[in-house]
Structure 1
C-alpha cells in the first residue's frame, strides 16, 4: 500500500500536488487555513483535516507548500504540532532561501523528523506529468526513502545534493535566468512600442533568434565553468562588440525617454569589466564581476 501523505496548503500548487498524489494512489489528507479551498480535494477523495496537528498525525509524510518559510514555521513550530512530527518525513516544497532550508533541516532533526527541501520548477499544470521538474536536497538516504512520493509529483525529480540548501540555491539561479529573459522581453516591448513596431514582428524575430541566444547562454556557462575568459578561436563574441551595440540601445532609450533601470545595471557591469582590462576578452569574462558587490 502506498504511504499516507498530508499536504499543507491548498493554493493552486498545493492543490495540484494533492491531486497528483491521489491519482498515484496515495491516501491523502489535506489542510488549508481557509477550509473552502480544500473542498475540491475532498470531492476527489482526500480527507480534510480540521487542524494542522490532525493533518500531521494522519500521515507518514508531510508535504508543505505555503507562501514562504515563515508561514511554514507558523504551522509546524506550534508546540502541539511539533510534538507530532517525530518519525515523520517532512518535504518542504515552499520557495525559500538556501539558509532557510538549512535551518529548517536542523530544526526538523531536533524534533526527531526527517527532512527534504525542494523547489518546484514548474507551473501547477505540469505537476504529476513526466515534464514536471522538482529539485530536491537533503540526506541522500532520506531522498531514497521519499523518491516514490516525489516521483508521483513529477517525472523529472533531481537530487541536487546532501546540503539541504542546494535545491533553493539552484532554484534562485534558474529563476535569475528566467527573469533575465522576461525583463529583457519587457524592455524589447518598450523599444518596439516607442518605435511603432508591431509586437507580432517582435514575436517572429524572437522565434528566429532564440536558438542563437540559447547557444550563447550555453557557451557562457561552459566557458565560465572552465574559467576560459580570454578570447580564443572558439569565442562566439567578445565584450567589445556587445558594448558597442549596447550604446545604440542606450541612445535609443534616452531619445525616446524609456526607463533605464535595467540598462543602468548592464552599464555598471560592462564598465567594471572594461576598467579591469577585459574589453577584448570573451563575454564570459563578465561573469567574474557578477559574483562580487558593486
Structure 2
C-alpha cells in the first residue's frame, strides 16, 4: 500500500514521486519524500514551506489558486487539481477547514481512482467519528489513511517544532516518520484512527478555556488599577502559569488581533466539535457552552477572521 503508486493519465508535468535516480537521503539526513500538501491556510502554507526547506519535493493544491502563487515563487510545484497533487506524491497531507471541505476535495472534486494506492494523512482538526468515516471512504477507494493532527501554529511549523499526534498503525507511523520528523522533534503515535483526533479536540478546548480565563483575570487587574507587571511576575512563578498567557499578552494589552495565528472562527469550530464529543461521552458541557457563547459574541463583534485572542473584546470590552 505504501510504495506502489499508480499514475493517472493526462496529468500535467509534475514531479515524479519515484524517479530512477532518486536520492534516498536529503541534506538534512532523512529520507526524501514527495509530499502533497492540500489546503493553503495559515498552517498548511507554513508546513509546505518547512517540508520544502527540509529537502522534500512538495506539491501544493488549494481551491483558491491565488494562495499557492507565493509558494510557486519559492520553487514548490503547484497542482491544478487534487488528482494532480495526489499523482505527484508519496502521501497527501490535508490541512482543510473541516470534514466537509475534506470530502469536497477528496471525493467530489477527485475521481475514485486518484485515491487508489495513495496515502492520505489528515492533519487538521476534525471529530474522531469524522476521521473514522474518512478512513472507511479512503480504504474503500483503494487508498490508505491515517491521522496526524498537530498542536502549534505558524512559527512552530516553520521551526519544525509542532507537536504531531498520530492515529493509525505502527507500520504507518514508522513509514511516514520522515515526514513527521521534518515537522516535529518528537512525533507520537497516540493510538488508532480517532484517538489522535480526540486528543486534539481536548487540547484545543484548553486553548479556549485558558485564554478566556486569562482575559477575564487581566480585565479585572486593569480595571482595579493593579500593576500588570506585578500580576505577570506572580503568575509566572506559580503553578497557574501557561506560556500562552505571556505569548498573547501583547495582543491583549494593545488590542491588536490582526495577522492571526489561529482565527476565532476556527476555534469556535473546534469548541463545537469538543462539545459534541464530550456530550457523546456523557460529560457535562455547561462550561463548554459558555466558551461557545463567548466566541460567538466575539465573532459578532467582527473578529471572526482575527486572532482568537480577540475574545478579550468580549471578556473586557472597551468602556
With normalisation by structure 1, the TM-score equals 0.68
- C-alpha displacement at 1:79, in angstroms? 6.4
Q: Are 1:192 and 2:216 matched, yes or no?
A: no
Given that 1:128 and 1:152 are in contact with CA atoms closer than 8 Å, whether structure 2 keeps it comes out as no
Work out whether residues 29 and 48 of structure 1, in 8 Å CA contact, stay in contact via their aligned partners in 2: yes
Confirm whether residue 19 of structure 1 aligns to residue 10 of structure 2: no
Secondary structure at the counterpart of residue 90 of structure 1: strand
Q: Which runs of 5+ in 1 are unaligned?
A: 216-289
| 1:179 and 2:170 matched | no
Where does residue 155 of structure 2 map in the other structure? 125
1:141 corresponds in structure 2 to: 171
Aligned partners of 1:114 and 1:142 also within 8 Å: no
Gaps of 5+ in 2: 1-22, 24-31, 243-280, 287-319
CA distance in 2, matches of 1:79, 1:7: 16
1:76 to 85, 88, 106: 106
Corresponding residue for 1:292? Answer: 283
How many residue pairs match? The answer is 217
What is the Cα deviation at residue 15 of structure 1?
A: 0.9
SS at 2:190's partner residue? Answer: strand
> Between Structure 1 and Structure 2, which shows a larger proportion of helix residues?
1
| Cα deviation code 1:42-90 (max 9, x no counterpart) | 1221111111121112212111101111111100012643320110110
Instruction: Name the counterpart of 1:213.
Output: 240
Question: Residue 232 of structure 2 corresponds to which residue in structure 1?
Answer: 203
Partners in 2 of 1:41 and 1:76 — Cα distance? Answer: 22
CA distance in 2 between counterparts of 1:112 and 1:23 reads: 31
> Radius of gyration: which is bigger?
1
| Contact 1:160 1:166 survives alignment (8 Å) | yes
Corresponding position: 1:49 with 2:49: no
Instruction: Look up the SS of the partner of 1:84 in the other structure.
Output: helix
Q: Which residue of 1 aligns with 2:33?
A: 3
Q: CA deviation at 1:129?
A: 3.4
Off by >6 Å, runs of 4+ in structure 1? none
| CA displacement at 1:291 relative to structure 2 | 5.8
What is the CA RMSD across the aligned residues, in angstroms? 2.1
